[in-house]
Amino acid sequence: MHKNSTFSQELFDAICNQVGEGCSVRSVCSAPGMPSKSTFFLWIRSDQTGELSAQYVRAKDARAQVFFDDIAHATDHAKQEYVDQEEEGPFTAGELMQAAKIKADNLKWILSRMDKKYADTTIHKGDAEDPVQMNTTVDLSKYSIDDLRKLAAAADQADPK
């Protein structure tokens, strides 16, 4: 099937709108009348103004927010499903909560890869005014002078200058 490869702002807007609603570029571009995924990214790379790239970044930010909202909805929905079911319901409370936890964990994992601000990472950085410093203190008082001389000699042999 022939894919549309002619750029139009209207088509680009439609793709970004669907991405902003939570769809992947792959799923949007697989629909009839849409360009291939590689064509979509070629449009972005070829844009000299940077406007298409900025529009796509905004769409990805919106998609990340959709996933963030879906995490909260998944857990809230599981709680409500348990409350709504009859005593003889098909699932126990534990099963419903476990399913919600798995869904939320999967969404969190995906979200952390979409946007680094949602990733479980710790960043240690410094700048010119407040650089990261590492200080180590070694207590040598428990060593004799002979031990320290031997240690210094071994260090000199290991790293001759």
List of residues 6+ apart from 158 with CB closer than 8 A: none
**3-state secondary structure string across 104-116:** HHHHHHHHHHHCH
Q: Is the pLDDT reported for residue 18 higher than 80?
A: yes
Question: Do the domain assignments include residue 44?
Answer: yes
* Strand, coil or helix: 56: helix
Q: Look up the CATH number of the domain holding residue 53.
A: 1.10.10.60
Q: Is the pLDDT reported for residue 42 higher than 70?
A: yes
Instruction: Point out the least confidently predicted range of 20-34, 36-50, 92-106.
Output: 92-106
pLDDT digits (tens, 9 = 90+) for 112-161: 777 777 677 666 677 777 777 777 777 777 878 888 888 888 877 776 55
- By the 10 Å C-beta count (0-12 exposed, 13-18 middle, 19+ buried), 64 is classed as buried
Q: Return the DSSP state at 118.
A: G
CA distance linking residue 47 with residue 57, whole number of Å: 14
The domain containing residue 57 runs over which residues?
9-118
Q: Is the pLDDT reported for residue 22 higher than 60?
A: yes
The count of structural domains within the chain is: 1
